[in-house]
Amino acid sequence: MSNWTKIANLEDIPRLGSRVVKRNGQADIAVFRTEDDQVFALHDKCPHKNGPLSQGIVHGHKVTCPLHGWNIQLADGNAIAPDEGHAPCVAVKLENGEVFLDV
């Protein structure tokens, strides 16, 4: 069962940037917008040393962690080789310019 919650309008998230969704007692979620207006959501912690992915640089469909330069794929949260690790994904959808998370 899905529990879709509107968290923003697409234009509230900067292109090639992110927005953080804070959750009480749970992991923060980083919601990313790519240059081609696709939206992805990951837990806001790099699998390397828990760096804030939301503060990283978005390029293509990846984000570079601001702490140590690890590249994480936005679609699946996997680190790009030679790095290894995974940032958990959160289901996200875009409908009529509105961004929803399945939380």
DSSP strands (E only) in the chain: 4-9, 17-21, 29-33, 39-43, 57-59, 62-64, 71-73, 92-95, 98-102
Side-chain half-sphere CA neighbours of 91 within 13 A: 7
pLDDT number for residue 1: 64
Provide the 8-state DSSP code for 15: T
CB 33 within 8 A of CB 39: yes
| Domain assignments of the chain as residue spans, ordered by start | 4-102
pTM over 0.75: yes
Two tokens at 102? 């399945």
pLDDT number for residue 49: 95
Q: CA angle at residue 67 from 92 to 28, to 5 degrees?
A: 30
Q: In a structure prediction context, what are the per-residue pLDDT tens digits for the chain, which is 103 residues long? A: 679 999 999 999 999 999 999 999 999 999 999 999 999 999 999 999 999 999 999 999 999 999 999 999 999 999 999 999 999 999 999 999 999 999 8
Two tokens at 87? 């940032």
CATH superfamily of 4-102: Rieske [2Fe-2S] iron-sulphur domain (2.102.10.10)
